[in-house]
Amino acid sequence: MTEYAITVDKLVKKYAKATVLENISIKFEKGKIHGIIGRNGSGKTVLLKCICGITPITQGEIMVKDKKVGVNKINTEDVGVIIESPGFIDGISGFKNLDFLYQLTHRRNKEVIEGVMRKMELDPKSRKKVGSYSLGMKQRLGIAQAIMDDPDILLLDEPTNGLDRNGVEKFHKLLLEFKAEGKTILIASHNSADIELLCDTVCELDHGHLVVNE
């Protein structure tokens, strides 16, 4: 029997009079990597925001695992998110940023923070302030933030932006490792390699409508 990590049923999202997502129904199977493609403004990012509860939906229903989005709390252990630019504090180090965020919901655990930073090839001992990070370093720090709670589901919006070729290859390898662990991953990306090399399924949005679901 197929087990679904995320179920979207007749989702509608409107901003004022503009309909951004129109009657979206789709299921994402557990333990697979799912691609979401579409031109700018197609609704990819809004869909991810609705799934994780950042953006309230207008109509319909979204279930994440056994929780109804907007009714039950979606914890960081359930879902890790990279959507748009992570909101880091520029004046402190990468380690201090992650340490502060981790302590919002946990007791302090330096080993966890050091581990995810090293996994993303960032030096946890560095005093370099995030404001002086390159785009690629900020992206790797954002990925570290998304995975530091070891979530069952990852929602990734353009996750390879700013990464060089070597960084992209290592990130792809990391995602495949997560898949092997049984995690469910949604990737919204313009990078064809992200989609072609990684994804078990691909859906396409066009002007808020689901036009392809393979």
Which phi and psi angles does 197 have, rounded to 5°?
Answer: -85, -25
State the helix-helix crossing angle for 135-147 and 94-102, rounded to 10 degrees: 20
Q: Is 201 helix (H, G, I), strand (E, B) or coil?
A: strand
What domains are there in the chain, each with its CATH number?
Answer: 1-78+153-214 (3.40.50.300), 89-150 (no CATH)
N-terminal to C-terminal alpha carbon distance within the chain: 19
DSSP 130: G
Q: Which two tokens stand for residue 128?
A: 């370099």
What distance in Å separates the CA atoms of residue 104 and residue 46, rounded to the nearest whole number? 26
Mean pLDDT along residues 170-184: 93
What distance in Å separates the CA atoms of residue 206 and residue 201, rounded to the nearest whole number? 17
Q: Please give the share of the chain, as a percent, with pLDDT higher than 90.
A: 71
CA-based Rg of the chain, rounded to a whole angstrom? 17
**pLDDT for 85:** 66
Model confidence pLDDT, tens digit, residues 15-58: 988 999 999 999 999 999 999 999 888 999 999 999 999 999 99
pTM value is 0.91
Q: What is the DSSP string of 11-54?
A: EEEEETTEEEEEEEEEEEETTSEEEEE--TTSSHHHHHHHHHTS
58 contact partners, CB below 8 Å, separation of at least 6: 12, 13, 14
Q: Is the torsion defined by CA of 90, 53, 179, 168 positive or negative?
A: negative
**pLDDT for 4:** 95
Mean pLDDT along residues 45-72: 92
